[in-house]
Amino acid sequence: MQHEISESDARMALGSIEQRRRQVIDEIDMPRWYWWGLALGWVGLGVITDLKIAYLTAIVTPLFGAVHASVAGRLLSGRHGSSQLSVRADVVWRHIPAVMIAFLLGLAGVTIALAVAANADGAHHPVTWASIVVAVAILCGGPRLMAAVRRHTEHADGPSGAAS
C-alpha cells in the first residue's frame, strides 16, 4: 500500500521533527541545584581553609571531592538537566565531561591565584574571598558554558556532535 505525501505535508513533518529536536537539545544542561551546591561548597571549603585547622581541612576537602564525584558521575554528561527528560547519549556532545572537568580545574587554579594574591596583599580570609569570587563565576559561568554546549550540539553534524 503506497501513500503519497505532499510536499507541504513533508515540510510540515520535517519542521515538527526539527522543533522536537531543538526541544530535546534545550534539555542538555546541569540542574540548577548543581551550580548552587558547587558554589556553596566552594565557599564553605574556602571558609574552612581560612580557619587554619589542618585536620578539619584534611577531612572536608576529600569529603567535598567525594560528594562532588558521586553527584558529577551522573550529571557531568549534561544528559540529566531536569527531571522532565533524560537526553540520549547519542544526542549529547561526547566531550561535555572533559569540558566540565577543565572548567572545574580552571576554577581551582583561579581560586589559588586569587587567594595567593589576596594573601600577599594582606587581606584577611584570602581563601574565603577568592572562593566567593569563584562561586560567582560558577553561578554565572556554569549555565553559560552549558548554553555554549547546547549551541555546539545544535550545530554539530551527526550523532554525538561528530563535528568535533
Q: If you average pLDDT over every residue of the chain, what do you get? A: 82
Question: Could you read off the pLDDT of 48-57 as tens digits, one per residue?
Answer: 999 999 999 9
- Percent of the chain whose pLDDT exceeds 70: 76
Q: Please name which of 94, 47, 41 lies closest in space to residue 69, comparing C-alpha atoms.
A: 41
Q: Where are the domains of the chain?
A: 7-161
The pLDDT score that the predictor gives to residue 41 is 95
| Phi, psi for residue 2 in degrees, rounded to 5 | -100, 135
How is residue 131 written as a grid cell? 572562593
Contact status, residue 87 vs residue 20, Cβ threshold 8 Å: no
Question: Could you read off the pLDDT of 71-118 as tens digits, one per residue?
Answer: 887 776 555 555 555 655 665 667 777 888 899 999 999 999 999 999
Alpha carbon separation from 117 to 153, 154, 162 (Å, rounded): 38, 40, 42
122 or 71: which leads in pLDDT:
122
Question: Could you read off the pLDDT of 19-37 as tens digits, one per residue?
Answer: 776 666 666 677 889 899 9
- The owner of cell 554546549 is 149
What's the pLDDT band for 158 if we cut at 50, 70, 90? very low
The pLDDT score that the predictor gives to residue 156 is 64
- The owner of cell 586569587 is 114
> Among 7-16, 81-90, 109-118, 119-128, which stretch is predicted with the lowest mean pLDDT?
81-90
The pLDDT score that the predictor gives to residue 89 is 62
What's the pLDDT band for 137 if we cut at 50, 70, 90? very high
